[in-house]
Structure 1
Amino acid sequence: MILHVTTELEPLRCEGELAKWVKGVVEKRGGKILLLGADGRYELDGIEVVGAGATPNIPTSDVVERAFLKLFASLAEVPYRLDPREIDSIEGHEWQGALVAYLLALRLRKPFVYSVYTTETERQGSGVVAESIKSIEAFLAREADFVMARRKGALKSLREQYGISREKLFSDPSGNEASTPERSELKILQVSWEYPPHLIGGLGRAVTHISAGLAKLASVYVLTIGLPGRVVDEHRDNLHILRVDPFTLKSTGFVSWVYCFNFLMVAKALSSNLRPHIIHSHDWLTAPASIVLKHLLKTPLIITMHATEYGRSRGSILTPMQRQIHYWEWRACYESWRVIVCSESMKHEVIKAFSLPADKLLILPNGVKLSELDSHTPLRGERDRYALPWEKIVLFAGRHVYDKGVDVLIEAARIILSRRRDVKFVIAGDGPMRFHLMWLASVYGLGEKILFTGRLSDEELYRAYKLADVVVIPSRYEPFGIVALEAMASGKPVVASRVGGLSEVVVDGETGILVPPGDPEALAQAIETLLYDPVLAKKMGATGRRRVEELYRWDKVVRFLEKIYRRVHEEYSVSSWLTLFDSVSASN
């Protein structure tokens, strides 16, 4: 039996000619219909129609974003609505239906047929949306076992634009099945958009250390994106890195780009025949793929919320992008067996933002790999790169965005330098505010006293900590503050804002000084206190190092995380979670 996947079907959902065309094809070929964006079950002239579930009612910017939103919502529902036992092949009608059909065909190990009525080239579309659709159509045509041109114009376009032969045949559906992985040990799938060499902030570094540590205790698979020209899988003992090319499909904007690589992540996981015991997702950027894999593979999902849009926007969720991000953050928390946060502050934020029960959340702080940090000592003459011999070094490291409060530090630097000139402010990192901050320093006449280094490698940053006299973290919003940990582990005193996780990591008066966020006067006074009293600064640095050794080592964090995984897997093993896909064996 053929499963037809479509967004339109006469008379149930009619938005254009496609509804009539699909009905005609189904009447001739027979089968069952999966109708995207619809609820309920129907019978249409003797043919069963299964609604895949309503699309979330949140604003989107264009048809591509809407299509992927519909895809992820549908695939999370299909295992509970569709019995796959009699399905022999899966046919996707037009590109929106074919996206869903392709992933279902991968999961069920069935031939995938791509039915094309018109192409974007034929429709003479132009602009970023049209280019995105063309790339999706080309991808589907390449991946299909068989491409069915339903109209003459489509046939010509497929041949000339995409180089697809009309004679493209089904592959043997019974051959070369991948073997089922052994389940003798715990298998964990980490899903993250950050992983080396693609690192943006603390999230990627956390996933890197967690995965490396867990690989000593379990089999770990990391599903992530690669950089242009560096999309290569890696396999090292129990650690397997699976990468997708996030630019395979052309996107219309940031959100649709996220949807595109999430789609490719689902395809990669299914084609790799992954069968993990636990799926661990990190933040909203991989939530769509993680939720779909949870339901298609019937595997418990855990989410770590490293930050929230609610927190970043101070509770103001207004734009279409914010509403989509907020939706996926809520949906991921709702779908997850457990929600992990990095601090008590983040726990309260997540409960307030998503109305979660407190017993669903677990606090698991980030950590530091002390041996790695200790192995990097400053190179001979390296201090000269940052400051003159007589200058004290005040270091900031982080993204140049509003929430990090670098502008507040520049204001504080202006105050300090009006009273003493033996201080050099070193600002490491990069971000969208970098040129504005450089302009601000120039306007204040501080160009020689504030050094913007750009992004430092981990090794350079670890050495920079040891060269600094004070490390400053003037954030307006900070769920945790990994820089504070690394500075403390380097034996340096910290001046930080009394916000979020920073107020838990830094002990005021013992490992550093906490100040009100957005207050340059208080920030300047705290920095000067430590610069004027090197004995106090050294004492705070030593206390901070001991605190990290006791509470924030990655090996301790990883061991606790493994216990969480095993507890969730035990709970899952005795649960009554059932789907209609249970009739499909694990190897299918």
Structure 2
Amino acid sequence: MNVYLRAVCEELSRRGIPTEVFTRRSSASGPDRVRLAQGSWVTRLAVGPAEEIDKGRLFDLLPELTQAVVDEARRRRARYQLIHTHYWLSGWVGARLRDEWRLPWFHTFHTLARVKNERAAEGAMVEPDHRIAVEQTIVRNADRLIASSLQEADDLVRLYGALRGQVVVVAPGVDLRLFAPRPTAALRARLELGAAKVIVFAGRLERLKGAEIVVRALALLSGQLAATQSPVLLVIGDDSHNGARESQASGGERARLLALARTLGVDQQVRFIGSVDQEALAGYLSLAAVCVVPSYSESFGLVALEAAACGTPVVAARVGGIPAIVKDGLTGFTLVSHDPAQYAERIGRLLLDDELGRCFSRRSRLVATQFSWQETVDRLVAEYAAPRVPELRPAVAG
């Protein structure tokens, strides 16, 4: 979500539209206000302890955060023309700011509790009832819901009773200059990969994201391929709050996955890279012969788009916005099933057929060029500037 907000605020800034993002201070260091771009600021408010806290505690801080936003705006005599909140926690705040300031209110969920619960992986945490209640209230009261994909829009209507006319689909974008094919010989040498082909999984380590499927698929592939053809799996990302809790008995999701790799005899082929910045991620995606996105649910599936922009074929679950990015049999493969054997078969095709990989790579990049942040912001501004919304001045994102 941080990638989305930064990219949108920077693009709005280039158009002369200032923004202000309110968030809770999670560290005692650093200034209260940080400039993202010309006229675009992140304001960090002293709400609760100045440290990272358990996600479950954030809900209790929302009344204090709401009042802090109101007080800060009043102190600086700031005036806004609209509110755009992101994620359900910020939506709780946005509902009250809309009433306080009497402004149009837009909301983007990014994930939906009922979708996560409906499609949950075995062992995944169940999203709580109070989150579902807040999301339902947001759907009922927001002026416009911005969905990231047609699937998310359908889920809002089917599971939350949203009105079709209330929901608009605005797909996220990708930085096509950063995420582009690049030389990877130095990275390959640094990782001491030799000639091994690379599979990349990138995402939060939690059951929802399905990293276990890739580890099991790797084991199946390794049993079918000669030792000289054995691929290496790079796992990019760290335990999320949910991942740490879901796999607490194993020491966290990363530890559970490593133990599974040992049990399956592929621990020497699995490298846990940890979290990386966008520049490094683009390098790893360019290095990969295939990127695997086996999520049980996604509102969009941004990493699949980032991989496609790097010219890397994707094997992914057919969820969220992924079918718009990965054209099955043309740029990669999509699967309804989460069966590791089916993933192994599709991944194996790409590892063993270089011409197929090159063909998918060229087409992937062409598809990705249709998803720019400029196009995303074009669509957002069109919604912001609808007749019910006054002339734009500083916006609020939360």
- Which residue of structure 2 aligns with residue 208 of structure 1? 6
Kindly indicate whether residue 71 of structure 2 is the aligned counterpart of residue 285 of structure 1.
no
Letter of the structure 2 residue corresponding to residue 291 of structure 1: A
1:366 to 147, 162, 172: 172
- Which residue of structure 2 aligns with residue 424 of structure 1? 232
Structure 1 contact 300–337 (Cα < 8 Å) conserved: yes
1:477 to 291, 297, 303: 297
Measure the CA separation in 2 of the matches of 1:229 and 1:253: 17
Q: Secondary structure at the match of 1:418?
A: helix
- Which residue of structure 2 aligns with residue 305 of structure 1? 109
Letter of the structure 1 residue corresponding to residue 68 of structure 2: A
Deviation of 1:264 after TM superposition, in Å, equals 2.5
In the TM superposition, what whole-angstrom CA distance separates every residue of 1:547-573 from its partner, at most 9, and x where no partner exists? 111x21111111111111010xx2156
- Which residue of structure 2 aligns with residue 514 of structure 1? 334
2:69 to 259, 268, 280: 268
> Higher relative CO (CA 8 A, sep ≥ 6), structure 1 or 2?
2
Measure the CA separation in 1 of the matches of 2:91 and 2:62: 11
Q: 1:487 to 1:251 in 2, by over 3 A?
A: closer
Q: Secondary structure at the match of 2:19?
A: strand
1:349 to 146, 151, 155: 155
Measure the CA separation in 1 of the matches of 2:112 and 2:316: 21
Measure the CA separation in 2 of the matches of 1:438 and 1:251: 26
Measure the CA separation in 2 of the matches of 1:490 and 1:572: 38
Deviation of 1:405 after TM superposition, in Å, equals 0.8
Q: 1:230 to 1:564 in 2, by over 3 A?
A: farther
Q: 1:252 to 1:282 in 2, by over 3 A?
A: closer
Structure 1 contact 249–260 (Cα < 8 Å) conserved: no
Deviation of 1:377 after TM superposition, in Å, equals 4.3
Q: Secondary structure at the match of 1:399?
A: coil
Q: 1:476 to 1:496 in 2, by over 3 A?
A: same
Deviation of 1:257 after TM superposition, in Å, equals 2.4
Deviation of 1:381 after TM superposition, in Å, equals 2.6
Deviation of 1:442 after TM superposition, in Å, equals 1.2
2:220 to 384, 402, 415: 415
- Which residue of structure 1 aligns with residue 211 of structure 2? 406
Q: Secondary structure at the match of 2:217?
A: helix
Q: Secondary structure at the match of 2:43?
A: strand
- Bigger Cα Rg: 1
Q: 1:545 to 1:283 in 2, by over 3 A?
A: same
Deviation of 1:315 after TM superposition, in Å, equals 7.5
Deviation of 1:380 after TM superposition, in Å, equals 5.8
Kindly indicate whether residue 51 of structure 2 is the aligned counterpart of residue 247 of structure 1.
no
1:234 to 10, 14, 34: 34
In the TM superposition, what whole-angstrom CA distance separates every residue of 1:204-237 from its partner, at most 9, and x where no partner exists? 2111111111112211111123431345212342
Deviation of 1:378 after TM superposition, in Å, equals 5.1
Measure the CA separation in 1 of the matches of 2:282 and 2:85: 28
Structure 1 contact 386–451 (Cα < 8 Å) conserved: no
Question: Quick check: which one's helix share is greater?
Answer: 2
Structure 1 contact 304–339 (Cα < 8 Å) conserved: yes
- Which residue of structure 2 aligns with residue 531 of structure 1? 351
Letter of the structure 2 residue corresponding to residue 418 of structure 1: G
Kindly indicate whether residue 22 of structure 2 is the aligned counterpart of residue 223 of structure 1.
yes
In the TM superposition, what whole-angstrom CA distance separates every residue of 1:51-87 from its partner, at most 9, and x where no partner exists? xxxxxxxxxxxxxxxxxxxxxxxxxxxxxxxxxxxxx
Letter of the structure 2 residue corresponding to residue 234 of structure 1: V
Structure 2 contact 294–317 (Cα < 8 Å) conserved: yes
Structure 2 contact 325–368 (Cα < 8 Å) conserved: no
Letter of the structure 2 residue corresponding to residue 208 of structure 1: R
2:59 to 252, 255, 258: 258
Deviation of 1:265 after TM superposition, in Å, equals 4.7
Measure the CA separation in 2 of the matches of 1:314 and 1:321: 10
Measure the CA separation in 1 of the matches of 2:55 and 2:269: 36
Q: 1:373 to 1:245 in 2, by over 3 A?
A: farther
Structure 1 stretches lacking a partner, 5+ long: 1-202, 575-588
Structure 1 contact 472–496 (Cα < 8 Å) conserved: yes
> Which stretch has the larger CA shift, 259-268 or 295-304?
259-268
Measure the CA separation in 2 of the matches of 1:399 and 1:223: 24
Measure the CA separation in 2 of the matches of 1:291 and 1:454: 36
Measure the CA separation in 2 of the matches of 1:215 and 1:311: 33
> Which residues of 2 match residues 71-90 of structure 1 at below 5 A?
none
- Which residue of structure 2 aligns with residue 323 of structure 1? 129
Deviation of 1:495 after TM superposition, in Å, equals 0.7
Deviation of 1:320 after TM superposition, in Å, equals 10
Structure 1 contact 367–554 (Cα < 8 Å) conserved: yes
Q: Secondary structure at the match of 1:495?
A: strand
Q: TM-score, normalised by structure 1?
A: 0.59
Deviation of 1:532 after TM superposition, in Å, equals 1.1
- Which residue of structure 2 aligns with residue 295 of structure 1? 99
Q: TM-score, normalised by structure 2?
A: 0.86
Measure the CA separation in 1 of the matches of 2:257 and 2:168: 37
Structure 1 contact 466–490 (Cα < 8 Å) conserved: yes
> Which residues of 2 match residues 9-20 of structure 1 at below 5 A?
none
Structure 1 contact 266–292 (Cα < 8 Å) conserved: no
Deviation of 1:508 after TM superposition, in Å, equals 0.5
Kindly indicate whether residue 289 of structure 2 is the aligned counterpart of residue 491 of structure 1.
no
2:202 to 383, 397, 401: 397
- Which residue of structure 2 aligns with residue 141 of structure 1? none
Letter of the structure 2 residue corresponding to residue 566 of structure 1: A
Letter of the structure 1 residue corresponding to residue 279 of structure 2: E
